[in-house]
Structures are given as structure tokens and as C-alpha cells.
Amino acid sequence: MLCHMAIVVITSSGAKNARLYVEVMESAGAAVRVIMPEDHADVATEELMRDAGGLLLTGGPDVDPALYGEVADPEAGLELDRGLDDLELRILEYALGRDMPVLAICRGMQLLNVAFGGKLIQDLPNHKSEKLDERWESASHTIYLAPGAKAAPVIGMAGFFKVNSLHHQGLKEAQRAPRLMTTAYEVEDGLIEGLESPEHSWVIGLQCHPERQDEVPKMFDNLFIGLHERAESFISEFAA
């Protein structure tokens, strides 16, 4: 029988943005394919996802508020890339339809919520990086990950974690898509920090950036190892 190598597809607004995600996935043993809107807007979804066993939705620009029925707030300082939104939404639909493992990080978690019919808060203060002594420093805060979260056994434990905070959009319970489940939240302001789909085997969204490995607990590396392992299982079952 032919042995199929599972590819983890990484979506990104550009090559520079994709670099850290590629590094952590390759460190976890995965083969990767980076998909960016300028190269792949006209390519069929089936072709983009050929031999794919998993999907990693990355951080990046803001999700277009038109996708959740709102007008862009001129005071929110939005950076939009509708080409990326459209590309990711069709790739995500493809992955979800096949119950493919999905890890959605920061913007990726926000897009996941929008894809399931939820909304976003267009601008949040005090969650972005700050410039200190000419260097950009990530903000940080404490989150609580519920014991029932699928992410908990993947990471290795549930409970309280200090993680980075690099976003100016997000969601609370009022914006959450009803079909998604809150699995983590920020302790101080109740902002949702984790979302999962109960309808799927392994669809995990996190608001923090675990690819910035020195800004989160070491055990968060297990998320990338877990995605790779699930991608291999997905391809094995698909090829069987």
C-alpha cells in the first residue's frame, strides 16, 4: 500500500507572517504547504488541499466586518484583506466538511467564529503589543482553560496559564457562534480565549499565539505536535 505523507496547510497573508508557523510545524515533524491569497485566489479548493491532513489558520489582518453583517468602524483602525478572508473561508469549509483537524490561532479563531455565524468586537484596548525601550513587547495575561476542553489533554493539562496577547479584535459570549463552545477565557475581562466545535473531532481555536514559543508555556508546543499527529491519522484513514 502507498504511504501518504500528511501535509498541514498553513494559510497566511504573506510569507513573512507564515515563517514562525512553518518553523513550529516543521519542528513538530510535519510537511507544510503555505497558501496565500496573491498566489492561490484562482486555484480550486480541492487542488489547494490535495494530500492535506490538517489545517492551521494563522494570525494576521482583521476579518472584514461585512462577513458578520456589520459596517467597519472608522475608529477601529482595521486592516482588512478580503482576499485572505474569502480564501480561508472556503478552505475552512472544505476541511470542516471532511472532519479534518483544524488549529485556529488568533485571527484564525476569530475567522472560525465568523464562519460558524458569530460576530467580533472590532476594537479592544490593552490587548496589543507595546513599544518599550524601542522594542515591541507582547502584552500578556492569564487565561483559564477548562478541563473539558479538547485542547487540555493535547497541551497536557487544564487550568491557569500566562500567555501572550497580540490582538485588537476578539469576542465575548455575546459574539460567540452558538454552535461553538467556549473552552478558555481571560480571567480579568472574560474575553474568550479558546473555542472548539463539538460537531467535529479536532477543531481547536486559541486567541493567544503559541507559535511565539518564548511567550507561552513550553507545553503549548504540544498543540503543533497534536495537529501533526491528527493530520497523519486523517490521511491514514483517508488512504485506507
Residue 2 lies in a domain: no
Q: Is 106 a catalytic residue?
A: yes
Q: From 112, 121, 114, select the one nearest 67 (Cα to Cα).
A: 114
Number of folded domains in the chain?
1
Residue 45 lies in a domain: yes
What is the distance between the alpha carbons of residues 205 and 197, in angstroms, rounded to a whole number? 9
Structure pTM?
Answer: 0.95
User: Among 88, 193, 211, 229, which one carries the catalytic annotation?
Assistant: 211
Among residues 208, 209, 215, 228, the one annotated as catalytic is: 209
Backbone angles phi, psi at 48, to 5 degrees: -60, -35
Q: Is 208 a catalytic residue?
A: no
Radius of gyration for the chain, computed over Cα atoms and rounded to the nearest angstrom: 17
pLDDT tier, 1 (very low <50, low <70, confident <90, very high otherwise): very low
Indicate if the pLDDT at residue 184 is higher than 50: yes
Q: Which of 3-7, 13-17, 66-70, 104-108 has the lowest mean pLDDT?
A: 3-7
Structural domain for 131, as ranges: 7-239
The predicted structure's pLDDT at residue 40: 83
Measured in degrees and rounded to the nearest 5, phi and psi for residue 129 equal -70, 155
Task: Judge whether 1 lies within some domain.
Answer: no
Q: Which domain CATH number covers 89?
A: 3.40.50.880
Among residues 106, 141, 167, 186, the one annotated as catalytic is 106
- Could you read off the pLDDT of 142-165 as tens digits, one per residue? 999 999 999 999 999 999 999 999
Residue 117: inside a domain, yes or no? yes
Annotated catalytic residue 209: yes
Backbone angles phi, psi at 71, to 5 degrees: -90, 140
Q: What percentage of the chain reaches a pLDDT higher than 70?
A: 93
